[in-house]
Chains A and B, each alone.
Chain A
Amino acid sequence: MSDTPAIDPEQIKVILATDCGSTTTKAILIQYVDGAYRQTHRGEAPTTVEKPFADVTMGVVNSVTEIGELAGRRLVGDDGRIISPATETEGCDIYISTSSAGGGLQMMVAGVIAEMTAASAKRAALGAGSIVMDVIAANDGRRPHDQIQRIRDLRPDMILISGGTDGGTTDKVVQIAELVAPAKPQPRFGSDYSMPIIYAGNQDARDAVSNVFDEGGFDLQIVDNLRPVLERENLGPARDKIHDIFLEHVMAQAPGYDKLMGWTGAPIMPTPGAVGDILQTVARLQGINVVGVDIGGATTDVFSVFDETFNRTVSANLGMSYSISNVCAEATMPNVLRWVPFDMDERELRNHVKNKMIRPTTIPQTREALMFEQAVAREALRLAYKQHKEFATTLKGVQQQRTVGDTFSQETGGMTIVNNMKLDLLVASGGVLSHAPRMHQTAMMLIDAFEPEGVTMLAKDSIFMMPHLGVLASVLPKAAEQVFDRDCLVYLGTCVCAAGTPKPGKTCFKYELSGSVNESGEIAGGELKLIDMGMDDRATIALTPARGIDLGAGPGKKVEQEVRGGTVGLILDGRGRSLSLPEDRATCQKTVQGWLDSLDVYAQEKEAVAV
Chain B
Amino acid sequence: MMAKAYTPGLLVTRHKTHRVMRRLPISGDVKVSLGDVVTADNIVAETALPGDVNPVNLSNQMSLPPKDVVDCMLKKEGDPITKDEPLAQTKGLFGMFKTTVNSRYAGTVETVSPVTGQVIIRGAPLPVQVRAYMGGTVVSVREGEGCEIEAEVAYVQGIFGVGGETNGHIMMACEAHDQEVTAGLITDDMRGAVVIGGARMTAESIEKARNVGAAGIISGGIDDQDLKNILGYDLGVAITGREELGITVIVTEGFGEIGMAERTFEMLQNHVGDQASVNGATQIRAGVMRPEIIIPLASAPADQADQDFEEGQLEIGRTLRVIRDPWFGMIGEVSGLPAEPAVLGSGSKARVLEVKFPSGETAIVPRANVELIEE
Which residues of A are interface residues toward B (Cβ below 8 A)?
Answer: 22-23, 50, 102-103, 144-145, 148-149, 170-172, 174-175, 178-179, 182-184, 208, 211-212, 298, 317, 322-323, 325-326, 329-330, 347-348, 350-367, 369-370, 435, 437-438, 602, 605, 607-611
Contact assessment for B326 and A366 in the assembled complex, using a CB-CB cutoff below 8 Å: yes
For this complex, 24 residue pairs linking A to B, each with C-beta atoms less than 8 Å apart, are A144-B54, A145-B54, A148-B52, A171-B66, A174-B115, A179-B55, A208-B115, A212-B113, A325-B235, A352-B255, A355-B255, A357-B237, A357-B238, A357-B284, A358-B282, A363-B344, A363-B350, A363-B369, A365-B326, A365-B365, A437-B349, A609-B343, A611-B363, A611-B364
Cβ contacts under 8 Å, B224 to chain A: 347, 350-351, 353-354
Which residues of B are interface residues toward A (Cβ below 8 A)?
Answer: 8, 50, 52-55, 66, 110-111, 113, 115-118, 120, 122, 159-160, 223-225, 227, 234-238, 254-256, 282, 284-287, 323-326, 328, 342-350, 352, 362-366, 368-369, 371
- Taking a contact as CB atoms closer than 8 A, the residue among A22, A182, A365 that contacts B345 in the complex is A365
- Taking a contact as CB atoms closer than 8 A, the residue among A23, A148, A607 that contacts B55 in the complex is A148
- Return the chain B residue nearest A358 by Cβ: B160
Interface of A is mostly: helix
Contact assessment for B345 and A178 in the assembled complex, using a CB-CB cutoff below 8 Å: no
> Taking the nearest CB of chain B, how far is it from the CB of A21, in angstroms?
10
Given the known inter-chain contacts A145-B52, A347-B223, A355-B254, please indicate yes or no for A609 contacting B345, CB distance below 8 A.
yes
Determine the distance from Cα of A435 to Cα of B110 in the docked complex, in whole angstroms.
56
- In order of increasing CB-CB distance, the 10 nearest A-B pairs are A326-B236, A437-B347, A370-B346, A351-B256, A351-B255, A350-B224, A354-B255, A362-B324, A144-B55, A329-B234
Contact assessment for B345 and A359 in the assembled complex, using a CB-CB cutoff below 8 Å: no
Determine the distance from Cα of A179 to Cα of B364 in the docked complex, in whole angstroms.
58
Contact assessment for A174 and B323 in the assembled complex, using a CB-CB cutoff below 8 Å: no
Given the known inter-chain contacts A355-B254, A355-B328, please indicate yes or no for A365 contacting B225, CB distance below 8 A.
no
Cβ contacts under 8 Å, A23 to chain B: 286
Determine the distance from Cα of A366 to Cα of B369 in the docked complex, in whole angstroms.
12
Cβ contacts under 8 Å, B234 to chain A: 325, 329
- Return the chain A residue nearest B8 by Cβ: A361
Cβ contacts under 8 Å, A149 to chain B: 52-53
- Taking a contact as CB atoms closer than 8 A, the residue among B54, B116, B286, B368 that contacts A22 in the complex is B286
Determine the distance from Cα of A212 to Cα of B113 in the docked complex, in whole angstroms.
9
- Taking a contact as CB atoms closer than 8 A, the residue among B53, B111, B237, B342 that contacts A609 in the complex is B342
Known: A358-B160, A609-B352. 6 other contacts (CB 8 A): A178-B113, A322-B285, A326-B236, A329-B234, A363-B344, A609-B344
Cβ contacts under 8 Å, B237 to chain A: 317, 322-323, 325-326, 357
Cβ contacts under 8 Å, B287 to chain A: 50
Contact assessment for B235 and A365 in the assembled complex, using a CB-CB cutoff below 8 Å: no
- Taking a contact as CB atoms closer than 8 A, the residue among B118, B323, B364 that contacts A355 in the complex is B323
Contact assessment for B236 and A182 in the assembled complex, using a CB-CB cutoff below 8 Å: no
Cβ contacts under 8 Å, A174 to chain B: 113, 115-116
Contact assessment for B324 and A359 in the assembled complex, using a CB-CB cutoff below 8 Å: yes
- Taking a contact as CB atoms closer than 8 A, the residue among B236, B323, B345 that contacts A362 in the complex is B323
Determine the distance from Cα of A347 to Cα of B200 in the docked complex, in whole angstroms.
14
Contact assessment for B53 and A182 in the assembled complex, using a CB-CB cutoff below 8 Å: yes
Contact assessment for A171 and B115 in the assembled complex, using a CB-CB cutoff below 8 Å: yes
> Taking the nearest CB of chain B, how far is it from the CB of A543, in angstroms?
33
Contact assessment for B368 and A362 in the assembled complex, using a CB-CB cutoff below 8 Å: yes
Determine the distance from Cα of A79 to Cα of B316 in the docked complex, in whole angstroms.
40
Determine the distance from Cα of A23 to Cα of B116 in the docked complex, in whole angstroms.
47
Cβ contacts under 8 Å, B236 to chain A: 317, 323, 325-326, 329-330
Pick from B287, B346, B362 the residue with the most CB of A within 10 Å. B346
Determine the distance from Cα of A170 to Cα of B115 in the docked complex, in whole angstroms.
8
> Taking the nearest CB of chain A, how far is it from the CB of B225, in angstroms?
6
- Taking a contact as CB atoms closer than 8 A, the residue among A323, A353, A364 that contacts B348 in the complex is A364
Determine the distance from Cα of A184 to Cα of B111 in the docked complex, in whole angstroms.
14
Cβ contacts under 8 Å, A361 to chain B: 8, 368
Cβ contacts under 8 Å, A359 to chain B: 159, 254, 323-324, 371
Cβ contacts under 8 Å, A323 to chain B: 236-237
> Taking the nearest CB of chain B, how far is it from the CB of A85, in angstroms?
36
Contact assessment for A367 and B347 in the assembled complex, using a CB-CB cutoff below 8 Å: yes
Cβ contacts under 8 Å, B117 to chain A: 171
Determine the distance from Cα of A611 to Cα of B225 in the docked complex, in whole angstroms.
32
Contact assessment for B366 and A363 in the assembled complex, using a CB-CB cutoff below 8 Å: yes
> Taking the nearest CB of chain A, how far is it from the CB of B104, in angstroms?
11
Determine the distance from Cα of A356 to Cα of B238 in the docked complex, in whole angstroms.
11
Contact assessment for B347 and A178 in the assembled complex, using a CB-CB cutoff below 8 Å: no
Contact assessment for A322 and B347 in the assembled complex, using a CB-CB cutoff below 8 Å: no
Determine the distance from Cα of A326 to Cα of B234 in the docked complex, in whole angstroms.
8
Cβ contacts under 8 Å, A50 to chain B: 287
- Return the chain A residue nearest B286 by Cβ: A22
Contact assessment for B284 and A358 in the assembled complex, using a CB-CB cutoff below 8 Å: yes
Cβ contacts under 8 Å, A605 to chain B: 343, 347
Determine the distance from Cα of A544 to Cα of B36 in the docked complex, in whole angstroms.
86
Determine the distance from Cα of A50 to Cα of B287 in the docked complex, in whole angstroms.
9
Cβ contacts under 8 Å, A353 to chain B: 224
> Taking the nearest CB of chain B, how far is it from the CB of A363, in angstroms?
5
